[in-house]
Structure 1
Amino acid sequence: MKDLGAVKYLLGFEVFRSKEGILLSQRKYALELIRDTSRGGAKPVATPMEQRLKFTTVEYDEVLGTKKGSQQIENEVLGTENGVFQWLIQRLPYLTHTRSDIMYVVHHLSLFLQHPKRSHLEAAMRIFKYVKKTSGQRILLRSSGYVQLEAYCDANCGSCLMARRSITGYCIKICGSLVS
């Protein structure tokens, strides 16, 4: 075995040590994603998802007979860009290890990998614009001696349009550091 010293970069994570604890960052990975998506010149946005945005499947729109005409539903369906959407969404879950702020929208969009719509692709592109603005965001794992577990949970009853199920969110912290 060979001692290479303190870890600085491991599995896409940049590791910084300080008196308060360990800082983890995926800035390099985030910037590579932005470069690979050709979103370097895109205008950054302040939030990962538009407020009150509800996603539905193409099948749901057709069955419900939405106010959109059938021509608009056909225009909404992705053809050759289907692979682009899948490529984008497959690379985002790894970024959620240090970016819990995008976790909800990444999970929600991953439900539409089989038959995405144009609105899903636009929402995925918005995530990359948001990551561009906040690429330096880090997570701190505190080194305090007192161990305290905190857990918070919230539910939004019946907000899923298609299944009428509740959407639940949670966060778990240990010593004030977000772990899940």
Structure 2
Amino acid sequence: MSILEDTGMLACKPSAVPMAADLKLNAESGSQLPDLEAYRRLIGKLLYLTISRLDICYTVHKLSQFVSDPRSGHMNAANILLRYLKHTTGQGVLFKTKSDTSLHAYVDADWGSCFDRGKSTTGYCIFFGNSLISWKAKKQKTVSKSSAEAEYRALSFVSSELTWL
């Protein structure tokens, strides 16, 4: 059974984006959900799906922060993500057989994006030739005083990952 069938979103209208760019989720986004377990099951399935769908990692990362106390705003954002999945069925990670053997890394930080705690978010992706081999979106452990400090922490994080690879 697919995620769309399980959630009753099989006949939904497709969405071109996984999450609105100006959407600011916090701990009090809307009213309490009547069925907390449905949200938690959905996020668990979406976390598993991020193994092969890099395009939803950031959105799932944001939604997974609210599994302890999900609200209607969080569920609405999750429904938009489900509509995006309907729009992009068949997408996934592609590994090409003929590619160069150099590592390329792209990294960014979103300074102070967590409104509840003021922490920044680091996101990166690493390519081996044309093939994506590593990616992550993660909240930074400490609060940065500036966007430059948040970017520096992000670069440090991806440098450690490159050293490991």
Matched, 1:46 2:16: yes
Q: In the alignment, is the contact (CA less than 8 A) between 2:33 and 2:72 conserved in 1?
A: no
Sequence identity (%):
38
Q: In the alignment, is the contact (CA less than 8 A) between 1:158 and 1:167 conserved in 2?
A: yes
Q: Highest CA radius of gyration, 1 or 2? A: 1
Number of residue pairs the alignment of both structures matches:
134
Q: Secondary structure at the match of 2:5?
A: helix
Q: Secondary structure at the match of 2:108?
A: strand
The alignment's TM-score, normalised by the length of structure 2, stands at 0.76
Matched, 1:133 2:87: yes
Residue in structure 2 matched with residue 142 of structure 1 by the alignment: 96
Task: Note closer, same or farther for the CA distance 1:32–1:150 as it changes in structure 2 (3 Å cut).
Answer: same
Report runs of 4+ in structure 1 exceeding 3 Å deviation: none
Q: In the alignment, is the contact (CA less than 8 A) between 1:152 and 1:170 conserved in 2?
A: yes
Aligned-pair RMSD on alpha carbons? 1.6
How far apart are 1:161 and its partner, in Å? 1.0
Kindly report which structure 2 residues correspond to 1:16-55, keeping only aligned pairs within 5 A, or say none.
32-55=2-25
How far apart are 1:33 and its partner, in Å? 1.1
**Separation in structure 1 between the aligned mates of residue 127 and residue 104 of structure 2, nearest angstrom:** 5
The alignment's TM-score, normalised by the length of structure 1, stands at 0.70
Deviation readout 1:51-73 (Å, 9 max, x if unpaired): 11111113xxxxxxxxxxxxxx8
How far apart are 1:145 and its partner, in Å? 5.6
Matched, 1:157 2:111: yes
The residue type paired with residue 47 of structure 1 is V
Q: In the alignment, is the contact (CA less than 8 A) between 1:142 and 1:175 conserved in 2?
A: no
Q: In the alignment, is the contact (CA less than 8 A) between 1:85 and 1:113 conserved in 2?
A: yes
Task: Note closer, same or farther for the CA distance 1:79–1:140 as it changes in structure 2 (3 Å cut).
Answer: closer
Bigger share in strand: 1
Task: Note closer, same or farther for the CA distance 1:88–1:165 as it changes in structure 2 (3 Å cut).
Answer: same
**Separation in structure 2 between the aligned mates of residue 161 and residue 77 of structure 1, nearest angstrom:** 18
Partner of residue 36 from structure 2, selected from 72, 79, 82:
82
Deviation readout 1:40-88 (Å, 9 max, x if unpaired): 1110000000111111113xxxxxxxxxxxxxx8xx2324221211111
How far apart are 1:110 and its partner, in Å? 0.7
Residue in structure 1 matched with residue 147 of structure 2 by the alignment: none
Residue in structure 2 matched with residue 98 of structure 1 by the alignment: 52
Q: In the alignment, is the contact (CA less than 8 A) between 2:100 and 2:128 conserved in 1?
A: no
Q: Point out where structure 2 has 5 or more consecutive residues left out of the alignment.
A: 135-165
